[in-house]
Amino acid sequence: MNIREQFPILKITANGKPLVYFDNGATTQKPQCVIDRIVKYYTEENSNIHRGTHYLSELSTQAFEHSRDTVAKFINAGKREEIVFTKGTTDSINLVADTFSTKYLAEGDEVIVTQLEHHSNIVPWQIACEKKGAVLKVLPITEKGDLMVEKLPELMTDRTRIIAVAHVSNVLGTINPVKDIVAIAHSRGIPVLVDGAQGIPHVKVDVQEFDCDFYCFSGHKMYAPMGVGVLYGKEKWLNDLPPYQGGGEMIGTVTFARTTYNDLPYKFEAGTPNVEAVLGLETAIDFMDNIGYDAIMQHENELLKYCTEELKKIDGVRIYGESEFKSGVISFLINGIHPFDVGTLLDKISGVAVRTGHHCAEPLMDFYGILGTVRASFAVYNTLEEVDVFISGLKKVVMML
């Protein structure tokens, strides 16, 4: 079936115009198969997992664990035990920042992040550093929005304990050379966490090839439901780190004197998880697998190239993020026009959904000396015709302001 037709929400109108949804960096829309999977779960399978021996609990537990296998295969994890289900990228990063700092961070130690991170990959590390008296260091970027990876060796010291870096920038679209970064870090024995929130929807992820120690992502940015995410961690690290949240499922045995902890990955999965979202994630992975990353990347690159060319034809447009290695995200400003005004008018006049503001990347905005941008971000269901609607809408907005 045609990809677009699988997304019922794309048939709606917004402000009387056919919806053009270019806010995929915030969240993607869901295909019918994912919606159906959630309905099926509540219609035929609903039960808490890993508890009880009845028919439904076995059914839901099996489905839940099957999804873990599918995720492991999708990112080429070595073992299913290395896949921890979380609430999302933010939750996954907080899990690592909290447990890693508890065990490995001391006063005077250092954590390295980069200039282009989302707040989710800055603030958890800041909190950890504040607790332990550690120092947060920042790998700079070029004006075009590439990481200055060549500066990483001199930034690392004997006190550097971990490096946290985005796979793909949510503002600039830069695809960072995570494999190279990991190789440099590992040459000094430093582990690397990759924030894959904007990576996995667009770029093939092979955690063994990257050799990263942790890879974090959210389901909802890759056609799956909200409220589920994944923390991939190398078994060695996940075994080493202390538990995060305490509660049911994560224990071995409990007495008032002492509690032992469950094996991986359950040690990090306290409480009842978002079962329907975990099942929906598996369906979303099947959906993406059916299309294939090559086709997804090729299509999104075509949209990126065409939209960039057309945008550049509009007087006074400045694009932020001009890396040679870029995914389908375009941030821009037009002369002195406030991004919020552009976004609001685009929505009202043309039914085009874009995101405006700092995109939870204020240090990156500071780097460019701006308060925010307009951001169009693409998904596999977007079309060249939609880019035309967006561009002609923008031209009208410019005339009005």
From the candidates 33, 129, 216, 360, which is the catalytic residue? 360
Position 197 contacts ligand 7TS (CB under 6 A):
yes
Inter-residue contact 353 to 377 (CB < 8 Å): no
Inter-residue contact 377 to 23 (CB < 8 Å): yes
Stretch that binds ligand 7TS, among 33-41, 100-108, 116-124, 320-328 (CB under 6 A): 116-124
Position 124 contacts ligand 7TS (CB under 6 A):
no
Nearest to 26 by CA among 322, 268, 277, 357: 357
**Residues in contact with ligand 7TS, shown as a per-residue x/- string from 204 to 223 under the rule CB under 6 A:** --------------x-----
130/176 Cα distance (integer angstroms): 27
Q: How buried is residue 392: exposed, middle or buried, by Cβ count under 10 Å (0-12/13-18/19+)?
A: middle
Position 145 contacts ligand 7TS (CB under 6 A):
no
Position 170 contacts ligand 7TS (CB under 6 A):
yes
- Active site annotation includes 307: no
**Residues in contact with ligand 7TS, shown as a per-residue x/- string from 358 to 397 under the rule CB under 6 A:** -xx-------------------------------------
72/86 Cα distance (integer angstroms): 14
Q: Which tokens in the block code for residue 112? A: 């390295």
Position 350 contacts ligand 7TS (CB under 6 A):
no
Position 101 contacts ligand 7TS (CB under 6 A):
no
Identity of the residue numbered 136: L
246/158 Cα distance (integer angstroms): 33
Question: Which of 60, 61, 67, 89 is close enough to bind ligand 7TS by CB under 6 A?
Answer: 89
Closest distance to ligand 7TS from the beta carbon of 87 (Å): 7
Q: How many CB atoms lie within 10 A of CB 76?
A: 14
Query: Please, how many CA atoms are within 13 Å of residue 57, restricted to the half-sphere of its CB?
Result: 8
Closest distance to ligand 7TS from the beta carbon of 223 (Å): 13
The catalytic residues are 360
Residues that bind ligand 7TS (CB under 6 A): 25-26, 88-90, 118, 120-121, 166, 170, 195, 197-198, 218, 355, 359-360
